[in-house]
């Protein structure tokens, strides 16, 4: 089934038409900068612009960068505090006059990777970590999603929220070398290893494309792979999620 997948991020909103059986993009990816401030109305307007760009008239699946429960944003995330308690699916549905299914971005990126990508046929505990403006995470056991794990909201040993120490946006803001950033991220991986004992960690987000440049600095005793769908995993997972919801 062809579904429009949209991935809302802290710096960009990306979309493409997806074959939900294979994960293949059936169109060119379209990207628009995330508005600043990223209020619900401003983001909804960009989502509508994207839908219009594809002249799309059917169901849409959307990856959203914070905790979503039954379509509602229950944490402000890194967009705007105005998102708290907003029914995101209802907002986009009303704006675009189309059925929308919305869930957490790392959960949906993980759905794509565990179903069709780097985690396909892997058993046990798999954690997908997306590294961008913040740190997103998806938890899977034997291929089944356990939703709304927020590793990025754990506290570092100095009391900081750990994504404020390890996110790619922090690397850029503080001018860290790739090595110095990777050593920080290694702390997170080591902690995840102790708490969850994963059989596999899959890394996504923009910086995952540079994995060959920083993997030598990761010492945590855990198997790590790069997301096969790379920065398109959220788009593909969003489309797959909508397809699953339409089947119910």
Neighbours of 141 (CB within 10 A): 13
pLDDT of 10 reads 87
What integer pLDDT is reported at residue 247 of this predicted model? Answer: 79
CA angle centred on 69, ends 194 and 56, rounded to 5°: 115
3-state helix, strand, coil in the chain (%, to 5): 40, 25, 35
- Euclidean distance between CA atoms 138 and 75, whole angstroms: 16
pLDDT in tens, the chain (248 residues): 899 999 999 889 999 999 999 999 999 999 999 999 999 999 999 999 999 999 999 999 999 998 999 999 998 777 899 999 999 999 999 999 999 999 999 999 999 999 999 999 999 999 999 998 889 999 999 999 999 899 999 998 889 899 999 999 999 999 999 999 999 999 999 999 999 999 999 999 889 989 999 999 999 999 999 999 988 999 999 999 999 998 76
∠ CA 190-201-240, nearest 5°, is: 145
Mean pLDDT of all residues belonging to the chain: 94
């Amino acid at each position: 089934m062809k579904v429009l997948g949209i991935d809302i991020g802290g710096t960009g909103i990306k979309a493409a038409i997806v074959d939900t059986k294979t994960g293949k993009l059936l169109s060119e990816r379209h990207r628009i900068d995330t508005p600043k401030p990223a209020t619900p109305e401003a983001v909804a307007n960009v989502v509508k612009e994207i839908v219009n760009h594809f002249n799309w008239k059917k169901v849409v699946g959307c990856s959203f960068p914070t905790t979503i429960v039954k379509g509602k944003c229950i944490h402000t995330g890194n967009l705007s505090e105005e998102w708290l308690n907003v029914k995101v699916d209802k907002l986009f549905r009303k704006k675009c006059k189309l059925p929308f299914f919305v869930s957490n971005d790392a959960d949906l990126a993980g759905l794509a990777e565990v179903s069709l990508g780097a985690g396909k046929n892997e058993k046990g505990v798999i954690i997908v970590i997306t590294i961008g403006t913040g740190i997103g995470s998806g938890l899977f056991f034997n291929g089944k999603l356990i939703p709304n794990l927020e590793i990025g909201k754990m506290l570092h040993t100095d009391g900081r929220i750990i994504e404020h120490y390890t996110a790619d946006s922090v690397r850029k803001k503080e001018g860290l070398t790739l090595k110095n950033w990777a050593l920080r991220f290694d702390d997170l991986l080591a902690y995840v290893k102790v708490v969850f004992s994963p059989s596999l960690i899959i890394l996504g987000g923009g910086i995952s494309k540079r994995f060959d440049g920083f993997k030598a600095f990761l010492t945590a005793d855990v198997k790590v792979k790069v997301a096969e769908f790379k920065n398109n995993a959220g788009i593909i997972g969003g489309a797959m999620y909508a397809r699953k919801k339409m089947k119910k």
